[in-house]
């Protein structure tokens, strides 16, 4: 994978998350219990409160949402989008990378081997089944040619996924990517080189995210195209509940 391409996308996502959170106004919530009539007990910023949702939610799941609270009224949840289950699992049971550590990984002679060896070491030292399962999922992702990286951006938990793809028609390689970011929501797209210039295509799920990133484009020399879409899925997501079949 091209380190310059990866550095481009990591820089884009490393924009000030507090500023992004204030402008995009997204909240990350976990549904604790249903109270009936689309009212739920939720966890928000480590606090428990009741909120009214515009649609039915699943207990135990996490969502991106626009959170509205008016004085003396029950908070409301709108424009909800369910987070991938792997995000909750990795946030609780995996070690995170910093942006610097991520770039150092891809500067190594064999990033895939380096990450694989690290994950195998973590499997042997796992202290509980949840930690073992989380690292097994990362290893299975790698075996499916997808780098799944748990990241810490300015104390915000995120997931980045990358997969190299070769286009037989153009005879060029591209990097498909997916990011689950607490402060921007899910983002996916393609990074490519066009005549030695980096081109980035971004798909976002929230209009406010699109607006924020459009304003950030001026800070980059790359060709960036942003599109609002309804559905954004991870490049790889696996659930391990029994015996593992991992090729060492």
pLDDT digits over 40-81, tens only? 999 998 899 999 999 999 999 999 999 888 888 899 999 999
Average pLDDT for the chain: 85
Task: Tell me the pLDDT band of 13, cut-offs 50, 70 and 90.
Answer: low
For residue 191, being part of any structural domain is answered with yes
> Which parts of 94-239 fold into alpha helices (H)?
99-107, 111-124, 129-143, 207-216
For residues 59 and 113, membership in a common domain is answered with no
pLDDT above 50: residue 246:
no
213 touches 226 (CB < 8 A): yes
Q: Is the dihedral of CA 168, 114, 111, 135 positive or negative?
A: positive
User: What integer pLDDT is reported at residue 117 of this predicted model?
Assistant: 92
For residues 90 and 147, membership in a common domain is answered with yes
For residues 125 and 148, membership in a common domain is answered with yes
The percentage of the chain sitting over the pLDDT mark of 70, rounded to a whole number, equals 90
For residue 47, being part of any structural domain is answered with yes
For residue 240, being part of any structural domain is answered with no
User: What integer pLDDT is reported at residue 244 of this predicted model?
Assistant: 46
For residues 184 and 201, membership in a common domain is answered with yes
For residues 161 and 209, membership in a common domain is answered with yes
For residues 145 and 34, membership in a common domain is answered with no
- Per DSSP bridges, beta strands 185-194 and 172-181 are antiparallel
Phi-psi region of 221 (alpha: psi -120 to 50; beta: other; left: phi over 0): alpha
Cα R_g (the chain), whole angstroms: 19
For residues 93 and 118, membership in a common domain is answered with yes
Which residues constitute the domain of residue 70? 25-83
222 touches 216 (CB < 8 A): no
115-124 contacts: CB < 8 A, separation 24 or more?
Answer: 115/142, 115/147, 116/142, 120/248, 122/95
Task: Tell me the pLDDT band of 39, cut-offs 50, 70 and 90.
Answer: very high
**Range among 113-117, 167-171, 242-246 with highest mean pLDDT value:** 113-117
For residues 193 and 95, membership in a common domain is answered with yes
> Which parts of 41-180 fold into alpha helices (H)?
85-93, 99-107, 111-124, 129-143
- The CATH number of whichever domain residue 73 belongs to comes to 2.40.50
pLDDT above 80: residue 180:
yes
The number of distinct structural domains making up the chain is 2
φ/ψ of 124, rounded to 5, equals -75, -20
In whole angstroms, give the CA distance from residue 54 to residue 204: 21
The percentage of the chain sitting over the pLDDT mark of 90, rounded to a whole number, equals 41
For residue 12, being part of any structural domain is answered with yes
For residues 97 and 191, membership in a common domain is answered with yes
pLDDT above 80: residue 195:
no
For residues 119 and 217, membership in a common domain is answered with yes
For residue 236, being part of any structural domain is answered with no
Task: Tell me the pLDDT band of 247, cut-offs 50, 70 and 90.
Answer: very low
For residue 234, being part of any structural domain is answered with no
| Number of Cβ atoms within 10 Å of the Cβ of 215 | 11
Q: Which residues contact 9 (CB under 8 A, 6 or more apart)?
A: 160, 177, 179, 191, 200
For residues 96 and 14, membership in a common domain is answered with yes
In whole angstroms, give the CA distance from residue 173 to residue 166: 4
- Of 39, 56, 83, which residue sits at a domain end? 83
For residues 103 and 177, membership in a common domain is answered with yes
Question: Which residue in the block uniquely carries the two structure tokens 């908070």?
Answer: 75
Q: Which residues contact 100 (CB under 8 A, 6 or more apart)?
A: none
Alpha carbon 86 to its chain's center: 9
User: What integer pLDDT is reported at residue 3 of this predicted model?
Assistant: 57
């Amino acid at each position: 994978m091209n380190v310059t391409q990866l550095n481009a996308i990591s820089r884009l996502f490393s924009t000030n998350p507090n500023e992004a959170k204030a402008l995009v106004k997204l909240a990350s919530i976990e549904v604790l219990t249903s109270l009936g009539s689309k009212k739920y007990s939720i966890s928000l910023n480590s606090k428990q409160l009741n909120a009214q949702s515009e649609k039915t939610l699943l207990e135990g799941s996490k969502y991106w949402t626009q959170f509205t609270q008016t004085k003396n009224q029950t908070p409301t949840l709108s424009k909800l989008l369910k987070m991938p289950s792997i995000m909750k699992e990795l946030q609780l049971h995996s070690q995170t990378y910093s942006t610097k550590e991520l770039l150092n990984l891809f500067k190594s002679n064999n990033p895939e081997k380096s990450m694989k060896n690290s994950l195998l070491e973590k499997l042997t030292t796992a202290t509980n089944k949840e930690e073992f399962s989380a690292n097994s999922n990362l290893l299975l992702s790698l075996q499916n040619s997808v780098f799944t990286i748990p990241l810490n951006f300015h104390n915000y938990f995120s997931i980045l996924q990358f997969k190299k793809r070769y286009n037989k028609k153009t005879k060029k390689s591209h990097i498909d990517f997916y990011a689950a970011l607490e402060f921007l929501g899910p983002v996916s797209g393609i990074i490519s080189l066009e005549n030695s210039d980096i081109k980035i295509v971004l798909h976002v799920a929230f209009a406010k995210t699109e607006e924020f990133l459009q304003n950030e484009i001026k800070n980059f020399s790359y060709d960036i195209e942003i599109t609002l879409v309804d559905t954004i899925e991870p490049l790889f997501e696996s659930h391990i509940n029994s015996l593992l079949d991992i090729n060492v």
